[in-house]
Chain A
Amino acid sequence: AQSVAQPEDQVNVAEGNPLTVKCTYSVSGNPYLFWYVQYPNRGLQFLLKYITGDNLVKGSYGFEAEFNKSQTSFHLKKPSALVSDSALYFCAVRAPPDRGSTLGRLYFGRGTQLTVWP
């Protein structure tokens, strides 16, 4: 079964420090991976994605993520956190269009609340 895990409900980091939000996945074949951010009382916004190619992908607002196939992980990172990065972050995975998977299904993690304090 396809699934996504975000092992940390909360991540707290001081402004200016690097941040990491963890994501691991379980999917048959090569996955399509996404990170989204949700600010209070707002819908989700796309940050970055891995479809194929370089394992290190760069996205909006200085975020990046590394696809690690052997560890089935797709951790979100930023070298220097800002207070304005405080939000709820979701990792999502879509199964690839092979091995009988249903292409339309998208699986989200439970979310990680990131708090950056001044």
Chain B
Amino acid sequence: EAQVTQNPRYLITVTGKKLTVTCSQNMNHEYMSWYRQDPGLGLRQIYYSMNVEVTDKGDVPEGYKVSRKEKRNFPLILESPSPNQTSLYFCASSFRTSGTVYNEQFFGPGTRLTVL
């Protein structure tokens, strides 16, 4: 089954304790992205990756890191989490058709993170 998986689905942690949220897709998509969803703010893009070893900042990259060493994986790293990073996080992937046209995104189920 074609899908985007995220782990963990729920996480409660404390301020300053490094954590990683994994994201994996099995569709051979070039493009992957991370978003956070907060009430009243919709989805905001954190980081995205156009291909292996190619990453760039989105709207709200502060406090986050990413890496893209393999095409299927795109982990999100919080080196020193703070309470304002409490949110619902989504990973997504997308494919490219002709030229530079990127199509719709496939979303993971989400990771609900609470930082105390």
Contact = CB atoms under 8 A, between A and B. Distances in A.
A104 B56 contact: yes
B107 A44 contact: yes
Of A6, A49, A90, A111, most buried by chain B (CB within 10 Å of CB) is: A111
Contacts of A90: 42-43
Nearest to A49: B104
Given A45-B107, A110-B40, A105 B90 contact: no
Given A32-B102, A97-B100, A105-B58, A110 B33 contact: no
A100 interface: no
Q: How large is the interface on B (under 10, 10 to 19, 20 to 34, 35 or more residues)?
A: 20 to 34
Given A104-B31, A105-B45, A46 B104 contact: yes
A71 B58 CA distance: 27
A15 to B, nearest CB: 27
B100 A103 contact: yes
Interface string B48-76: 11100000101100000000000000000
> What DSSP secondary structure best describes chain B's contact surface?
strand
Interface in B65-116: 90, 92, 99-110
A18 B110 CA distance: 31
Interface string A16-47: 00000000000000001010100000111110
Q: How large is the interface on A (under 10, 10 to 19, 20 to 34, 35 or more residues)?
A: 20 to 34
B41 interface: yes
A103 B102 contact: yes
Contacts of A110: 40-42
Contacts of A36: 105, 107
Nearest 4 Cβ contacts at the A-B interface? A43-B107, A110-B42, A97-B100, A46-B104
Contact of B105 (A46, A97, A102, A109): A46
Given A43-B90, A110-B40, A110-B42, A104 B48 contact: yes
Contacts of B106: 46
